[in-house]
Structure 1
Amino acid sequence: MKALHIVTLHTPTHDFGGPTRVALNLCRGLRAQGEQAALVALGDGFPPGEALPRMVDGVPARLFQARHVAPRFEVSGITSASLLAAAPRLLRSADVVHVHLMRDLVTLPVALLAAQMGRPLVLQTHGMIDPTEKRVAQAVDVLGLRRVLKQADAVLHLTPTERELTAAVVAPEPMGPAYRLVNGVAPQPMRAVPAGPGRPPTVLYCARVQEGKRPQDFVGAIPTVLEKYPEARFVMAGPDTGALAGDMLALARSLGVGHALEYIGALGHADVMERLRTSDVYVLPSIKDAFSVSVLEALSVGLPVVVTRTSGPAPDVAAAGAGRLVDSAPDDPENAARVGRAVLELLEPAANAAASQAAWQLAQDSFTLDAVVGTLREIYAKVPRERVSSGPARRLGRRSPRVRVP
């Protein structure tokens, strides 16, 4: 079986974050289990005049140079005429077209084309598709998003809440069959729990620096932690896609804790894993992430996490004792203090050791890439069979294509 994964963007510094990382992980996992899988995306940020890579993290990739046709819409406003022209040929070569869908000028047009061509179509929304009051987004919904959600052979969700929000976009009409697929990561060896008298603890934030991920709550927690651990170090890593890194450093200075915060920018995957292994607590106070890969990567090495109660992994983290949950809401002045208190709890040596072991075991039991890919292959196996009997090609009066069942 050949699965073609379509995602919006790949850059050398992984600026697009989760969706691209998930797509690469799934492709790599499928290939490890004997399937064919490849990535199609826009490429941006590579040296001028240098050919775009044909392999990304061990995955065959077809990248097309990004064109910024609507810069004010950021990643939603980039596209490539060459990608769209090549799409029919690429789609015909695949047994399953797996689109990591958002309201943009890449994944949505390709998904619509796949449905029109009668290709077996799987959509994965990554928590990015929900009802909106924004007029441009509403127009996009009317022009194509609702149609492709209804015509898809499978719509993948991370949590029940994501499924409900995505279905609400097309309500009262039904969307395509829904399946749950959590994110997965490669198993990792348990990190050595940092120890030693006089060693300053390290607290890590490693994600895009943007408003929805609440880096201000990470920075705002620093004074609370420094009261007990005055030598503690706080590291903020990740691409500055929200242009907030400077503001975060200024916030730290205004709180009198600028000396304790370091912003190191975007990291490659190997460097991310090394930072996770050498930190004491991982903090992601995001109020928008459905199921952050960075949190799963922290768990995979046995790094305790502080996450919001509404995040996707929160129930699993709480049940396993792999970290601490915090309440968070936009503009709540207590957010940062709650994060700080949670970090303090996890810096206690006994609590840190217990949460570390629990985090590693949770990742091993629930979030390995092998298990997730096994579930995905089961979903893929259902798609062609359902396509023949009741899929969108039949509903639209088109003749269903012949496909190979994995």
Structure 2
Amino acid sequence: MRILHAVTLHSPSHAFGGPVRVALNLAKGLRARGHEASLVALGEGFGDPWPTDVEGVPARLFRARRLLPLGFSGITSPALLATAGRLVRGADLVHVHLARDLVTLPVALAALRAGTPLVLQTHGMVDPSDKALAKLLDAVAVRRLLRGADAVLHLTPHERAGLEAVVGGEPLARAVRLVNGTPAQEERPPLEGPPRILYSARLQARKRPVDFVRAASLVRERVPQARYVLAGPDEGEAGAVTHAVDTLRLADRLTVPGPLSSAQVLAELRRAHVYVLPSVDEPFPMSVLEALAVGVPVVVTRSNGLARDIEAAGAGRVVEPGPEGVAEAVLELLDEDANRAASAAARKLAAEAYSMDAVVDALLEVYWSVTDR
């Protein structure tokens, strides 16, 4: 089967985060099963020669053009828009990782017009909004796509309820729950040196990177030798992070390396004692899944879509938002016995609940039902 995955943006800094990682993991899994899975997206930040694949997945990356100062919603490519119809007609199925933007919406609409089977996956990016642009895009395109797609994949019941609210409260008859998966990883080696606590996500307000810095200050009072890494591309919080690091005098203990490559993230995870994502309303974070797969105990807040499973498995700690709860959880997990038990539970949870093989199996069932229909 020829399957085209469409996602908004791929860049060396991984600025678009989890949806790109999900698309690549799925495409790799599909290719391992003998399917011709490829990727289409905007590209930004690459030098010559321009990439023709991403991590072994064939890719058409169109140079991003920023039309409006609206973040990812304001970027597009005239060449992509002109080519979208041909791209979707050349596929047996189009899988769009849908956001309110000028990349995934046009590709999805092109598939709908061409009659190519269409699967949408929103990753929590399409939810009820009072913003004027969101209302306009919903009226022009989003509702039509959600109603017309052959399948709409959602991560949680909360996400499905939000999608149904976007279309006016009507049930989505073709909604299917599909969790994110993560490839199997080697277990982290025996830990050495002072404790290392890692944050690897976008520096965005909802992710609460400043809470990580403040929690580090609290942990320092009891574990002064601990070290911290706060990595990720800036989305508006870098200044606040720098200010907090300076104010709390953490510069000698906390490093802010900016965005990391996939290989660099994996290397950091293999050195980490604890992974922390203090964000709120996080649907299903890939960075947490990757930490679990390596065997790094995690700290997340209760509104995280993985919180219930993490708590039930004992794969980390689930806390209320704020630096105090994060710090206390980190201190608990720095205990050698607690860390060892949580690490084993993390790997077990990743292997049993979020393996890529199981996710690809479920996805192919969706694909076959769509193409048969």
- The question of a shared fold, defined as TM-score above 0.5 by the shorter chain, is answered with yes
Q: Which runs of 5+ in 1 are unaligned?
A: 329-334, 387-406
Match of residue 92 from structure 1: 89
Match of residue 398 from structure 1: none
Q: Pick from 210, 227, 230 the counterpart of residue 233 of structure 1.
A: 227
Is 1:342 the counterpart of 2:329 in the alignment?
yes
Q: Pick from 108, 128, 144 the counterpart of residue 131 of structure 1.
A: 128
Looking at structure 2, the residues matched to 145 and 365 of structure 1 have their Cα atoms a distance apart, in angstroms, of 34
Q: Pick from 208, 224, 228 the counterpart of residue 202 of structure 2.
A: 208
Looking at structure 1, the residues matched to 190 and 198 of structure 2 have their Cα atoms a distance apart, in angstroms, of 15
Aligned residue for 2:120, secondary structure, equals strand
Match of residue 158 from structure 1: 155
Match of residue 372 from structure 1: 359
Looking at structure 2, the residues matched to 102 and 177 of structure 1 have their Cα atoms a distance apart, in angstroms, of 18
Match of residue 221 from structure 1: 215
Once the two structures are superposed, the pairs formed by residues 45-124 of structure 1 within 5 Å of their partners are: 45-47=45-47, 50-70=48-68, 72-124=69-121
Looking at structure 2, the residues matched to 172 and 257 of structure 1 have their Cα atoms a distance apart, in angstroms, of 48
Looking at structure 2, the residues matched to 9 and 265 of structure 1 have their Cα atoms a distance apart, in angstroms, of 18
Give CA-to-partner distance per residue, 1:330-374, whole Å, 9 cap, x none: xxxxx1111100100100111000001110111111111111111
* TM-score computed with the length of structure 2 as normaliser: 0.98
* Max Rg structure: 1
Give yes or no for contact 1:153–1:176 (8 Å, CA) kept in 2. no
Looking at structure 2, the residues matched to 250 and 259 of structure 1 have their Cα atoms a distance apart, in angstroms, of 14
RMSD across aligned positions (CA): 1.1
Is 1:275 the counterpart of 2:262 in the alignment?
no
Match of residue 243 from structure 1: 236
Give CA-to-partner distance per residue, 1:116-153, whole Å, 9 cap, x none: 22110000000011100111111111111111111011
Looking at structure 2, the residues matched to 121 and 273 of structure 1 have their Cα atoms a distance apart, in angstroms, of 33
Is 1:187 the counterpart of 2:184 in the alignment?
yes
Aligned pairs, number: 373
Match of residue 44 from structure 1: 44
Give yes or no for contact 2:84–2:106 (8 Å, CA) kept in 1. no
Q: Pick from 276, 284, 296 the counterpart of residue 277 of structure 2.
A: 284
Once the two structures are superposed, the pairs formed by residues 241-390 of structure 1 within 5 Å of their partners are: 242-328=235-321, 335-386=322-373
Q: How far did 1:171 drift?
A: 2.0
One-letter code aligned to 2:155: L
Looking at structure 2, the residues matched to 268 and 222 of structure 1 have their Cα atoms a distance apart, in angstroms, of 24
Q: How far did 1:243 drift?
A: 3.2
One-letter code aligned to 1:10: H
* Percent pairwise identity: 55
Looking at structure 2, the residues matched to 256 and 43 of structure 1 have their Cα atoms a distance apart, in angstroms, of 38
One-letter code aligned to 1:16: F
Give yes or no for contact 1:307–1:324 (8 Å, CA) kept in 2. yes
Aligned residue for 1:182, secondary structure, equals coil
Match of residue 390 from structure 1: none
Match of residue 22 from structure 1: 22
Looking at structure 2, the residues matched to 62 and 185 of structure 1 have their Cα atoms a distance apart, in angstroms, of 24
Give CA-to-partner distance per residue, 1:301-330, whole Å, 9 cap, x none: 1000001111111111111100000112xx
Q: How far did 1:176 drift?
A: 5.0
Aligned residue for 1:22, secondary structure, equals helix
Match of residue 147 from structure 1: 144
Looking at structure 1, the residues matched to 82 and 133 of structure 2 have their Cα atoms a distance apart, in angstroms, of 25
Looking at structure 2, the residues matched to 104 and 232 of structure 1 have their Cα atoms a distance apart, in angstroms, of 41
Match of residue 395 from structure 1: none
Aligned residue for 2:272, secondary structure, equals coil
Give yes or no for contact 1:149–1:176 (8 Å, CA) kept in 2. no
Give CA-to-partner distance per residue, 1:82-104, whole Å, 9 cap, x none: 11111111111111110000000
